[in-house]
Structure 1
Amino acid sequence: MPPATLSQNLKTFLANLPRHKKPPISKTQEHIVYGGNFSHFDTTLLYFLLRNICSIPEHRLKWGKKPSPTDRSVSANIERIRLIRNDYYGHVASFSLPDPDFINQWNDLFVIVKELESYIGSSTDHQDAVTRLKSCSMDPEVEQNFIDRLLVVEKLQETVENLEQKIEVLENARVPFGIKNISEWKENEKVFLETHSFPSMLDKVRAQSYVTFVGVPGSGKTATARHIALKLQNEGYEILNIKDIKDIETYCDQHDPQVFVIDDVIGKFGLDNAAFSLLSRYEDTLVNPTMSKTKVLMTCRETVYKHETLAESFLCKENNVVLVHSNELALNDQDKRDLMTKYQLDTNILSQEDLASSSHMFPLLCKLFSTRYSIYGPKFFILPIPCILNELNGMKTLYKLQYASLVLLMANQNKLSEEILESGNSTYNGNIFSEKKCRFLKECKVKTNTESFEFIDALSEMEGTYTKKCESGFTFIHDSMFEIVAYHFGHRCRKLMLEYMSSDYIANFIKVNTFDAHKMEGESKIMPKDDQQHKPEAETNVIDLSIKLTEDTLLQMLGERLFKDVESKEIFNVFGNEALKAQSVLQAFMKVMKTKSYSELYSIFLENLEIHDYRSTTFNHG
């Protein structure tokens, strides 16, 4: 019966009732019928409609009475459903049923539904529904538990779908995630200070397509470049933190503005001739970028910037360089006090005189002072390296595991993780890390079978003071800390340093000792007292973390190591090394060279080497 017909029949039925007789259904039930939605009908309403509106013949004992068991008519089965509903639901406050009784009652109900369904047609939908009811849970708590689990599953499915979409975006992205990841930058923004000279630096970046920030380690040159990049990001620029100048060509966008940031663009320890040669090839790309708004921000250590090779380079054009220690841009006293406030330091610990004579590494020193070095007072801001070396002296004696952890981090070129310690697959200069790990640990007087997680825990304990966490493990908190630890360990273990350190380190930090060489800042901590008395005052402020060689055996070993680097195609690092001028070193180098055949020498010096590499190198060692 269609809803409209049912509604009309109900109205007719109610209109024909005796005037003073109460209607058998309520106004609410009337509205439900007139609404036309059969799913809202309950058992009571259905019974009324089937009995009074649908013209179904009465069973033998009449409507409203329990039918005879042998009466299987439609009205008898409708009556039975009404009675079951009243007995087990309608007229009880709470109810439970033993399993045997439940099975008997379910069987009766199934027969009723089956007979009614056969009367209607051939469908078994209602029988199937009753069958499912036989085994489903009717406990509200259990039901809610299933609902909660389904909701969790649904939420997990949504999460998986979202992750799949993100993975697809990353896989299809033109720029790898690592190049665009700047989460660490934003964390460091909390302590960044826009100094009195910051506006002029920002103006220079806005005016030029490329700018190089030049300063000593720890002077804030990298932090400044990153801060400016983040400002440009707010203006619609895309930040790309790249390692190789070639990435500009790879990831350049011709339509949207980008800002590329490159740290230590032409070498970290010293001038990297290969990197400089490569950069020179991209001069036109930097000067005239494809997208006119694109910026390239580079950083360079002051010692590298002053190399004579760069004198006429486009990299040194005045309009494209920010010299953070210049008279115009250097931190003034107010900048320094504001920096101390950023790190929650007492600004009164430094006098006016102390501020004036403080190290160019002031930004880094504020960070270190806030975590550990406050015991040194004002002295730390004037001569920081001796203070750090003194701390390492104590650590080497009292906290051998922590010291050894720093040494291993240094030995593996500023990158260490539990995976590297376990696998030992990290290699530098052909040396497997597990091999040198044992030798370095013996020098530190730490057992070689120490668990890897103990070293990682030690590095974690020193996070913020000596180390910082990165995606793949730990690195030093700053490059200068790597150099200080390398000096502290290396000046006592020169042979290990010669054998295992990188070609870059050998080229820039291993020196042949001469009597007129500058001494390192604060070398009095290590020098004999007699030597200190004759040391010129001007030399006490020179920072030199190089390792000096004097013994013939070490000079011979250096010559052999340099030839090994030539075999590894480290041409610039070898023939640009002043140490090769020393007679003992050169003799050792030539001695190894004479053992090689013509074909071996051809392979070493000529094969697979680009001609422009040689043109960029000055061979003046004879």
Structure 2
Amino acid sequence: MVVSRNFVVIIGGPKSGKTVTARSIALQLEKEGWEVVPVVKPAQLDKYYDRERKQVFLLDDFVGTSTFDEELYNKVLKYRDLFSYSEKQNTKILFTCRKSVYFSAVPELQNLPSLQVIDLESFENRLDNDEKRKILHKHCDARSVTKENYESLSIENANIMFPFLCELFADNEKYQSIGERFFIKPFEGLCMEFDIMQDRNIVHYAALIMCMISNNCLSIGILLEEKTKVYIYNSVGLNQGTADRLLQDALEQMIGTYVIEIDDHFSFIHDSLFDILAYHYGRRVKYCPEIIRYLPSECLSNMVYIDSNQSVDEFSIPIPEDQFNCLAERLFVDIQNLKLYEVFMMKLLYYEPFFRAFIEMLNKESYDSLKEVFLSVQENATCEHPDHIDNELHNLLADLAFFVFEEEERYCIRVIAWVIYFCHFQLLEYIMDRVHDEEGSYQSVFGSEKREQTRLLVLCRYKKNVKITKLLLDHIDLNCINENLLTNNMLKIMPDAYRTLTPLTAACEVGNLAMVKLLVQSGLDINENERNTLFALSLALYYDHTEIVDFLSCNIRSQSTYVTIGQPIDEGFVQIITCKIEDRSSLTFTIEPRDRSSLSFTMEPRKLLRSYNTPIPVNGPFLSD
């Protein structure tokens, strides 16, 4: 398929060999004269694309690691022209994706043209016996495993996580003693190993739990705070008087088998061991609900599920309904500790039975407490920035700014920004009702300054949620819809670049037509031409959002007979085109993806009055009458 098609996604379960398969294909193509270009984020597809070369791009987990990541998907979608273009040119794109993530994303992925899917676990694509034996022998020979331990194994029915299991098998004599059962029922086998460890080597098990609780980064010198250790000891049945030295010795004994030592920290030797141990420990939540309070926030975000209809994988931890209150309390603590991405990315907040439990918990909090957590400005606080969240988006959420005469950046975090960005509509309505009941207005929710209201409105551009956008427009000062986020004492540098956006230009940049229409319906003057504005039509043209171009062209009011459009053609220059007002709707925009020097306008010659290149102003492209 990869030979005949240029845009392919490889799917499979955890550790099924998706990345290895993609790299093997790429290496084979490299022998045939292709340039292999591994990338870690969608924007690098654009950065490294060269239409003069035969290139194959590799991108792992292209729409999320454990769950569907809409923000990451939107970034991929920005380059859909390249995907279509790749079918006609010397460009191949290989994506990998966990199967459960792919199936949850199927409705959205229909927007990607020419996408072909290879399922590694399908009957026609799964490894045959000869391939399995070659993989197993390669790992065992590299570790000098005794041949009698693996040559006669029956592995015909070994399909789950096979490449990864070969690596574990070759590294661990215990797994070799289990034999073929380790491959046939690996998840069960690894859980059984932890069962045995919990019974016979409880110090070792507790040490691994500590490594997991510390989110896979356990300090060698200082294990965990005392109350956490007390809870872990109680939950696994370890004597409270156990010395830290014994736990450190246990971890050192497991180096190379379960953990590795990096600098002054212990971490699991592989992410799958972290997942399996979290599942093994977390499945006890039914009998030991306090576990919910101690599982890492990332585990709760990626592994917990409560809806029986939810697509899950082997590592998921079910939470019974009678533990909803405990889980709701834990999430509130995480919000207080600014684990904001982990909490608000959780799908369980959209699940009605759990959401009711969450609201019941919030009802018990005083108004002052609620306001402090969700609405107060936390200056110079820090919120962890996940790798998959774009820098510009994170800076906008955390309200990062660089000020004149200040040496460092300043964060002004308000939790309500995450509520709005992740489209928790019911939670936003609840907070608004509590505030209005206490204060008689919504000012504390959206801020008293136009700049803050503008920031929250700009956040609406990403998810394209009409309900959230309309709710904000119904309750903010509509004068803010013509504003950007700059103030006179802010430095105009790249990390602050998003501050030049107005709500309209922000929506045009990402192609949010619904938001553009709502802004215009709310009274937005789309003829505003302030110096610090990245103007809307120019951006819509640049990103090829033709529906927005058509809408704006039909709604721009002008007192001139001409319109001038500034269109970026590279990092330093903008192409200026002037045409008659009545002809502007006839403008069509042609782009050869990934080569911005080839950007051009196509129109009838008689309609083109003037076209030339000029340096781009400090704050970007422009539109003027």
Structure with greater Cα Rg: 1
Higher strand share: 2
Higher helix share: 1
TM-score (norm: length of structure 1): 0.50
